[in-house]
Structure 1
Amino acid sequence: MQASGNAEASSHRTKSRPDYRKELLIDEKFWRDLQPYLATKGYMLRPRYMPNWTPSWKDGDFVLDFEDSTVNLRSPIMDATRISDGELVVLKRVFPSDHPQEVEMTQYFSTEPVRSHPHNHCVPLLDTFEVPDYSDSQRLEILVLPCLREFNDPPMKTIGEAVEFFRQIFEGLQFMHSLHIAHRDAMVLNIMMDPKPMYPNMFHPVKKFLNRNFKGKAKHYTRTARPTKYYFIDFGLSCRYDPENGSPRDIPIFGGDKSVPEFIANPDQPHNPFPTDIYYVGNVIRDRFLNHKTHGLEFMSSLVNDMTQDDPESRPEIDEVVSRFAVILKGLHWWTLRSRLVYLDETPFKSFRRYVEHWFRTTGHALFFRHALPTPS
C-alpha cells in the first residue's frame, strides 16, 4: 500500500507540474509584456513572446519540432529581430540601481574615437533606451547588442586558430587597461566571438546548431576560412580608475570565476583589480586549453602559469603579457600554426576522422593562400 501511495503521489506531482514549454517562465513574461513597447523602438521578439501567444503544436505532436517551444533561459538577455533590416540582435535589460556602471561603460566603448580603435575588443553597442514608467523605485534600460556566440563554439580546429584567439584577448585587455579600465569579470562566459564571418546566414538564437528558420543545420565555415573577431562583454562590474590616485584598490566582487586566489584568501581586503584581470584571462586559457584539455599549446604554459600565480603582485602586467606573447608567436613555425588542435577527450575513431578531415581542409586553405594565423581584416 505504501509503494502504491508513493507512486500515486509522484503521479499527482507530475500531472500538476506546469509544462514550461506551454507556459511562459516568469522572466519570459517580462519580455512578453515588454514586446509592444519594443516594437515601437524597432525590435520584434519571436512568436513565443507575442502578447496573445498560444502554442502552435497540438497534443500528440513532437513538441521539439516547433520553434515556439524553444525556451529562453538567459533571464536578463533576449534575442530579437531588428525590424528595419531583419538583423538578429540581443536585448539586455539593465537596472542601473544594481549595475550603475554598465550602461555608461558600454556606451563609452562605443563612442568615437574609442569605438573604431583597432585594438578595441569590447562588444559594440547598437542602441540603448530607457523603458518609461517601468517602476516607481527602479529605472530600466535596454541595451541592444550584436548577437554573438561562445568563443569556442564550434571548437577551434588548428593551433593557429587558438593562438589568434589568445592574441586578440590579450590585445583587447591591453586596450582596456590602457584606458585605466578593469573589466573585473573577464571569465569564460564573458568572452565571445562575432559569428557572422563563420555563419553568413546566422543561426537560431537558442538552438544554435539550427538555421534561423528552425529548419536544417546552420552551415558554418572554419575560423581559418572566415577569420572572426573576439569580444569582451558584460561591463556590469567594470570600473575606470584615475591614475593620479595611484594604484587602485577595491573590495573584491566575486564574478563568474570563483577561483581568484586573492579573493579566496582575503575576501574583505581591497585588491588591485588589474592583476585580477590578468588572472581571469590566464585562467580562461588554462582551464579551456591547457590542464589536459588539448595537445599542441604547451608553449603557452609558462606565460599562463605566471598570469595565474597566487600572488597578484607577481603576475605580469598586460604590457608584459603582450610582449612575451609576441616572442612566443614569432617562434612558431607556420606548419605548427596549421597543425590540428587535438582535444584529449577524443575517441580513437573520432581522432582518426578528424585527422583525415584536417588534412583535406588544410590542403584547401594552403591552395587558397589562407593565413595560418586567421586574423580578421
Structure 2
Amino acid sequence: MPFSKDELRAVFQDALMVSPYTNLDHFIGNHVGGEHFWVNLQPFLLHRGYRLRPRFHSDWTAPWSQGDTVNFDIYEFEEALSLMRGINLLDAIRISDGAKVVLKRIETWRDELPIAQYLSSPDMQRDPRNHTVPILDILLLPDDDEHALLVMPQLLLFDELPFRRLDEFVDALRQYFEVCGALHVRSELIAKDETLPHQQDHGPLERLDLEDLANLTIYLPFYPNG
C-alpha cells in the first residue's frame, strides 16, 4: 500500500538526511517545474506513437513510497530524475520499433523549424558533408500554434566520451565546419539564382545568422573515424 502524501510530508526531514538535494514536492511525488507540460501532453504523444517514462503520466506515484517502509534514498530510482526547471527536451520511446528518441520543444516563429526540415530533406541527407542529426518526425501541438516538437534519435553529447587522440579532435572540427560550409555554399547558390526575383525571401538559409548557427549545435553529433 503506497504511503500517502501526508505521510511522506511527515518524514521529509528524515529523508533530507539521506537525499539532501531533494525538495518537498519532489519527495512526496508531485510533478515539478516543466514536467506539467509533458504530463499534459502525454496522452497526445501516446496517440502519435511515442511513450514517455512513467513519471510523466498523470497517475504516476513515487516508487519510493510503495514499499513496507519509505525508501529515503530516492535516487536509487530512475523515476526520481525530474526536469525541475527544464521544459524543452525529453526522452521517449518510439512504440513502433522501440527506438530511443528525444523530443525537442521549439518555437514555430523561429527559423529553427525550416532549417531543421531543410537539413533532413532527401537532397541534404545525400550530401556527404551533412553530419547533422536527422529529424525523424515533426509534431504540431494541439491548441498551440506557437510551439512544435522535433523528434530526433537519442545520441550522446559530443563531449560525453573524451577525445583519445588529436586526430579525433581535428576530425570533429572538420565535420562541424563541413556542414556549416555546405549551408553557406547552398545559400550562395540560392542568392545567385537569377530565375528567382531578387527581393524574394528564399527561405531560412538566406537568413541564417550566428544565433541560428548556435541553435544548430544540437543537430551536430560527432562520429569518430576508426
Describe the superposition over 1:85-128 as per-residue Cα deviations: whole angstroms up to 9, x where unpaired: 1111011122324x2x2211111111121122110123211001
SS in 2 for 1:68: helix
Equivalent AA in structure 2 for residue 77 of structure 1: L
Q: Which amino acid aligns with 1:152?
A: D
1:142-186 superposed Cα distances (whole Å, 9 cap, x missing partner): 111111222111211111211111111111111111122335234
Equivalence for 1:92: 104
Change (3 A) 1:165 1:148: same
Alignment of 1:83-232 (within 5 A): 83-97=95-109, 99=110, 101-134=111-144, 138-180=145-187, 181=205, 182=208, 184-185=210-211, 186-187=213-214, 190=217, 194=221, 229=223
TM-score (norm 2): 0.71
* 1: CA distance, partners of 2:165 / 2:91: 31
For the 8 Å contact 2:52–2:91, the answer to whether it is kept is yes
Bigger radius of gyration among the two: 1
Amino acid aligned to 2:186: L
Q: State the alpha-carbon separation in 2 of the partners of residues 177 and 117 from structure 1.
A: 14
What is aligned with 1:375? 225
Give 1:187 shift: 4.7
The CA deviation at 1:141 is 1.5
CA 1:173/1:193 → structure 2, altered by over 3 Å: closer, same or farther? closer
Answering whether residue 93 of structure 2 is matched by residue 67 of structure 1, we say no
RMSD of equivalent CA atoms: 2.5
Q: Would the alpha carbon gap of residues 152 and 173 (structure 1) be closer, same or farther in structure 2, given more than 3 Å must change?
A: same
- Indicate which of 19, 25, 41 corresponds to 1:19: 25
Conserved in 2, the CA contact under 8 Å of 1:63 and 1:69? yes
Contact map agreement 1:120 1:172 (CA 8 A) in 2? yes
Deviation digits for residues 30-77 of structure 1, max 9, x if unmatched?
A: 101100000011000011001201101132341111011011253211
**Partners of 1:166 and 1:39 in 2: CA distance:** 38
Output the CA distance in 2 between the equivalents of 1:193 and 1:163.
Answer: 15
Closer, same or farther: CA 144–189 of 1 in aligned 2, 3 Å: closer
Write the distance in 1 (CA, Å) between the matches of 2:118 and 2:162. 32
> What's the % identity of the aligned pairs?
33
Scaled by the length of structure 1, the TM-score of the pair is 0.44
Asked whether the equivalents of residues 96 and 103 of structure 1 are also in contact (C-alpha less than 8 Å), the reply is: yes
- SS of 1:24's equivalent in the other structure is coil
| Aligned CA distance change for structure 1 residues 36 and 84 (closer, same or farther; 3 Å) | same
Query: How many equivalent residue pairs?
Result: 180
- Cα distance per residue 1:344-373 (max 9 Å; x no partner): xxxxxxxxxxxxxxxxxxxxxxxxxxxxxx
Aligned AA (2:74)? V
- 90, 99, 116: which one pairs with 1:78? 90
1:223 matched to which residue of 2? none
CA distance in 2, matches of 1:79, 1:42: 13
